[in-house]
Each structure stands twice: as structure tokens, then as C-alpha cells.
Chain A
Amino acid sequence: MTIVVNGEPREVPEGSTVTNLLRLLELPEGRIAVERNREIIPRSLHSQTQLSEGDRIELVRFVGGG
């Protein structure tokens, strides 16, 4: 199925969870915030939150800034 991650369309296996997506992208689970369709998915729910076709996912982290 196709979802949109940080503005880019991306194919992920049917039934993928947030945890699966982060593993697929080789992103560390810690200190990354995940939003699905503008709603934050708390870290504690990553492994049980299944993605659906067309979901818009934002993955953000801290970078240098003032």
C-alpha cells in the first residue's frame, strides 16, 4: 500500500505498524516523533498502530537550532 512519509509517497507492506515503518527506514525509535494524519502517535503505541492506505506520516527529530 502507499502512504506519504514527510511529503513523499512510499510503498510499505500491507498491515505495517509505525514500528515496522521506522525499522524499514532504519530510524532509531528513540527521540523521533511520529504524526499520522496530524495526530501524534505516542511512542508507547508505535508497535500496535497499524498504518492504512493514504496515511500521511510526519517523522520529526531535533536538529541544531537557536
Chain B
Amino acid sequence: MKSETADGKNAGTGRLHLGHSSFGSRLLLGTGKYPSEQLMQEALEASGTEIVTVAVRRVDVSKRGHGSLLDFIDPRRYTLLPNTAGCTSAEEAVRTARLAREAGLSSLIKLEVIGDAKTLFPDLEGLLQATRILVAEGFTVLPYTSDDLVTAKKLRDLGAAAIMPLGAPIGSGLGIQNRTHLRILLQEIRDIPIIVDAGVGTASDAAIAMEIGCDGVLMNTGVAGAKEPVRMARAMRLAVEAGRLAFEAGRIPKKLYASASSPEDQMIE
């Protein structure tokens, strides 16, 4: 288990540290796929999140009178985390990251290099290449990656600000399918945060990720696709908080047989 001391990333404050910033909420929320922008706005609020992901896309120049997503996201309240979703090469991802920095005036980037259309699994070679370039350009790089420890170590050594392993395929809602691999990552990568990115389908999934010691959870479809996104956002907030508290509190060891909770002597005879 990861401890709360010594290695700095969680020392004392209980806050999530990413690059030079720290955050009170450990839930990172996406802004895609909501039934409406109003519902998205309410869900962000209910989730307590402080970091919201956005995608970078072409403006539709055939339209007039552009409403902006940013009309619904208060920049004083939320930190924008642009992604490179949909990019399938390091080159494309780097280009998108640079455009995101120009559009948003911040150097945070959720780096995705997709290697397979069906699973949306990351192209780890491209991810490492893009990380190297973007770190050199001063970006705070948060790479969406697999749960592979060797890649995670390389990403860390290249200067990534966090490791963001998937718990299951993006948008699948399958929950945390790789608990053992995540635990290994948590044991071996102790100097930067580990944030589960993708796979969460319901509150218990988020709680499990946090209970095993992950530093945060990033989700989108699990909230946006729920029958009632605003209630699910609140559920996720509570789950992330509950899971974190349980982790910090330190769970009891698992035993095969019972151990009585009530005194076993002084029984009435």
C-alpha cells in the first residue's frame, strides 16, 4: 500500500498534485456526450470536480453564431484539461496539444495516442514519443496509458506529471478489470499520481480504484451516459471520497474465518 508520507505526492494536504497545481477533488470529469449543456453544467457542479476534460476540434465554418462549450464552464471554478482524443500518431497528438495550449492558454494536456479503433487502447510507442516532445516544450503531460508498468516507468522518466492507466476500455463501463496491475503500478510508481482513466461504470468502480490507493479517477461516459447524469455525478463524488477515506483509514486484513466482534467471555449462563 502506498503511504501518505515521505514520498511527497500525498504528503499531508490530502490534495491531488498535478504539475505545479493542486486540487481538492480527486474526480476528473469529462464534458462529452451529455444530453444537453445544461445537464453537463449541473453534473459538473454535483460531482465537485475541479478539473474537466475537453476535446479540440475544427470550428464548423459553415455555421454562424457559434455558441461555445466554454459558455457553460466557469474558468474560475474549473481547470480545463484538453485531450488529444482521436489522434493516432505522436505527430497528430503533438499538433493537437499545441493548438489546445493556444486555445486555452494553459499547458495541461491529457495525452492520448490511440492505437486500435475497436478497443481505443493506446499506442504506447507513439505515446512515449509525444510525451518526450511535449515535456520538452513545457507541457504538463498526463498520458492515458495501459496498465503496463514498464511503459509507466518510461513515461515517468520522460517527465509525465501523472500516469493515467485505463481500468477497462474507454466508455465500456466494465469497471476496474485490472486491479492487480494497478496495484503493481501503485507500488512501483510512487513519485507521481496514478489516476484511473476510463472504464468506470458505476460508483463502486470509482470507490475500488480509490480504495486500492489510486490518486484520482477520470471518467466521462459513466456520468454522461447514466439515466440521470446529475445524480450519478453526485454518486461518483461520494464514491471517490469514500474510497479515498477508506484507503487513508487503512482497511483490515482479509481472513478466511470469523473473528467475533462482541466479547467472548462473561456470557450469561
Contacts and interface: CB of A to CB of B under 8 A. Distances in A.
B173 to A, nearest CB: 13
A6 B56 CA distance: 13
A8 B60 CA distance: 10
A26 B56 contact: no
A28 B83 contact: no
B66 A28 contact: yes
Interface in A28-66: 28, 31-35, 38, 40, 42-43, 58-66
Interface in B14-28: none
Interface stretch (B29-37, B124-132, B153-161, B204-212): B29-37
A40 B102 contact: yes
Contacts of B58: 6-7, 58-60
Nearest to A61: B59
A34 B59 CA distance: 10
Interface in B30-89: 30-34, 37, 40, 53-62, 64-66, 68-70, 80, 82-83, 85
Given A6-B58, A26-B64, A64 B170 contact: no
A6 B57 CA distance: 10
Given A64-B40, A65-B53, A31 B104 contact: yes
A24 to B, nearest CB: 10
A31 B103 contact: yes
A42 B102 contact: yes
A62 B54 contact: yes
Contacts of B99: 33, 35, 40, 58, 60
Nearest to A34: B102
19 contacts: A27-B59, A28-B66, A31-B104, A33-B56, A33-B99, A33-B102, A43-B102, A61-B56, A61-B57, A61-B66, A61-B68, A62-B103, A63-B56, A64-B30, A64-B69, A65-B85, A66-B170, A66-B171, A66-B198
3 interchain residue pairs of minimum CB distance: A65-B55, A66-B220, A66-B30
